[in-house]
Structure 1
């Protein structure tokens, strides 16, 4: 489930430039492991094109894909919350173009600029809430009782 606004749209106009100044474009080939569950979360991305599958390790089985992200979506939010470790893994589905940010630099920027920091935290919180809602909906579809009265 995509958030309704991109990160740059969520920023006050006068703060967007501060983010674009520290961003850099990256291109990732198909089947690139972007990050691994449990490892240090030291950057994040805004996907410009392509898709990235988020996955979770399942003991004794292949990692389970829990969500697929696409254009204008935030890839990674674990960088914003201690202990700064990825909660999931991520792999490109096909070629991906994205804007990459150094997490420590953005956290410092959020600390030094409360207006930008508030906008960043609100954007990430909305992203997490939207994804939690999408997960709950998928779980109900999978495990909810038939005829529960919920609209399809």
Structure 2
């Protein structure tokens, strides 16, 4: 398994600076639901500190944690792909500080700077592939244990 890509450190410094010009600092208290699967995805975050759990509702009564995110990790990719709905739910596992980015301004920036847009799409795709691999493994493990 490959090491997780850290979005901000993977961008070239000038690209990172342009993207960061759109960042807003936010925080989430422990146990806060940040978003729910199926909800409207119009933003994303880069975790600065704390831990976030990504989960999948597998039965009406049960969620399975499919990934744990920490400092430097991208939270949310659904803002980039139609139908712009969250694929997973996310919850602050501890107090979380993050950079928040609204999708609209980021997408406009990507149109203005196609090299930044291509770099961002490639990085998000790499992160997405890694997360899907992790999700598959966690769901298979939960199935093997009889948790599903």
Fold match (TM-score > 0.5) = yes
1:101 alignment partner in structure 2: 101
Larger Rg: 1
Q: How many residues align?
A: 144
Alpha-carbon distance change, 55 to 4 in structure 1, aligned in 2, over 3 angstroms: closer
- TM-score by length of structure 2 reads 0.86
* Structure 1 unaligned spans of 5+: 145-152
* Structure 2 unaligned spans of 5+: none
- State the alpha-carbon separation in 2 of the partners of residues 138 and 31 from structure 1: 21
Alpha-carbon distance change, 83 to 60 in structure 1, aligned in 2, over 3 angstroms: closer
- TM-score by length of structure 1 reads 0.84
How far is the alpha carbon of 1:58 from its aligned partner?
A: 3.1
Q: Compute the RMSD of aligned alpha carbons.
A: 2.0
* Equivalent residues in 2 for 1:1-150, closer than 5 Å: 3-139=3-139, 141=141
How far is the alpha carbon of 1:100 from its aligned partner?
A: 0.6
Alpha-carbon distance change, 2 to 34 in structure 1, aligned in 2, over 3 angstroms: farther
- State the alpha-carbon separation in 1 of the partners of residues 133 and 22 from structure 2: 31
Alpha-carbon distance change, 62 to 135 in structure 1, aligned in 2, over 3 angstroms: closer
